[in-house]
Amino acid sequence: MSQSRLCEDFSSTLSMTTPPAPPASGVRSIPVRTAHGTFDVWTRRSGASPHIKLLLLHGGPGCTHEYFEVFDSFLPQAGIELYFYDQLGSHHSSQPDHADLWEIGRFVDEVEQVRQALALDGSNFFLLGHSWGGILAIEYALRYQQYLKGLIISNMVWSVPEYNRYAEEHFLRQLPAGVLAELQAIEAAEDYDNPRYMELLIPHHYEHHVLRRPYAQWPDSVLRAFEHLNPKVYIPMQGPSELGARGKLAQWDRRADLSRIGVPTLTIGAAHDTMDPQQMAAMAKALPRGSHLHCPNGSHMAMVDDQVVYIQGLIDFLRRVDAQAIREDP
């Protein structure tokens, strides 16, 4: 089927579906053990499937599951069981005040505890990580791929230094000279709480590369996710700058390790993303069982601003991997 026909058919499904308010049913609090004691993380199940169970890892770090709520309108109807999840430190989960909890390895341990609690395994467990969640998904796969049926790396490249390079060479040069100079002056003064910082970023950066709609038209689910972001997690790991990563993640690089991930993996990139779409395609080639989905009209939130391509491509991947597993099952 051609992409234009596919999009036409799926658009009719979209137009017939009114996004419901997220249901409270399926909510479950899962205890997570840490060096500082046991804390609770929030999860919610939507839909039911014996063979396709998708756990969602949100970005940030310190953001929330809320911007994934769009999936509620489409994936359960496609026979996919969803698990929304707020990582430790995020809005709906416990928010302990221990700075040493905000480390990649500790988050990987957390995801594994969540998997065990939800009884997910290699017969049904798909993991989708978006942005920071993509880093977390890669790290989880490198340690625990025996439990995965499939992996989705959405809008995250294989190297934060490469992300920073792309931002500097691509996005910063697109900004009007006066805007860039003012942003750099605010950052040099470390005056990130200055209202002018966001006044400049929203029209000149966010509306072009984060979600390609006027800010006044951003969905409530996305606005809630941004409103609920926990800076005590975000700033130590990402850093205070919105023009590049400067925190603990600044040197993260897994280019040499993707070949070790042997499960079927989909990388999702977008033409207008803050992440280099060419690197997203290259990642798929580096993965032994990789495939790639390109969202030509999307940005960092491509599940919103290139929704038809993103969601149909995701559904196709999940179904394809499941069908292959059924054929291979003796």
| Each residue's pLDDT tens digit, 186-196 | 999 999 999 99
Amino acid at 222: V
- Residue 204, in any domain of the structure: no
pLDDT number for residue 172 = 86
Mean pLDDT of 271-282: 96
Domain count, the chain: 1
Annotated catalytic residues are 131, 273, 300
Query: 142 and 112 in contact (C-beta within 8 Å)?
Result: no
For the chain, what percent of residues have pLDDT higher than 70? Answer: 91
Residue 8 has pLDDT above 80, yes or no: no
pLDDT number for residue 330 = 54
Full domain range(s) for residue 24: 3-164+219-328
Mean pLDDT of 247-263: 98
Peptide bond preceding 61 in cis form (omega within 30 of 0):
yes
Distance, CA of 149 to CA of 53 (rounded, Å): 9
Tokens representing 42?
């929030």
Per the model's pLDDT, the better-predicted residue between 324 and 229 turns out to be 229
pLDDT number for residue 329 = 62
- Residue 171, in any domain of the structure: no
pLDDT number for residue 325 = 78
Mean pLDDT of 100-126: 98
Query: 38 and 28 in contact (C-beta within 8 Å)?
Result: no
Tokens representing 59?
């970005």
Mean pLDDT of 178-188: 95
Residue 114 has pLDDT above 70, yes or no: yes
- Residue 206, in any domain of the structure: no
What are the respective helix, strand and coil percentages of the chain, to the nearest 5? 50, 15, 35
pLDDT number for residue 174 = 87
Q: Report the CATH number that the domain containing residue 43 is assigned in CATH.
A: 3.40.50.1820
- Residue 315, in any domain of the structure: yes
Tokens representing 30?
């899962």
Average pLDDT, the chain: 92
- Owner of token pair 């049926």: 149
- Residue 193, in any domain of the structure: no
- Residue 186, in any domain of the structure: no
Residue 18 has pLDDT above 60, yes or no: no
Q: How confident is the model at residue 4 (pLDDT cuts 50, 70, 90)?
A: very low
Query: 156 and 134 in contact (C-beta within 8 Å)?
Result: yes
Distance, CA of 16 to CA of 294 (rounded, Å): 25
pLDDT number for residue 56 = 98
Residue 75 main-chain phi, psi, to 5 deg: -70, -45
Residue 75 has pLDDT above 80, yes or no: yes
- Residue 176, in any domain of the structure: no
Could you tell me the CA-to-CA distances from 34 to 102, 118, 178 in Å, in that order? 11, 18, 47
Residue 20 has pLDDT above 70, yes or no: no
- Residue 181, in any domain of the structure: no
pLDDT number for residue 7 = 37
Could you tell me the CA-to-CA distances from 269 to 87, 300, 310 in Å, in that order? 23, 8, 9
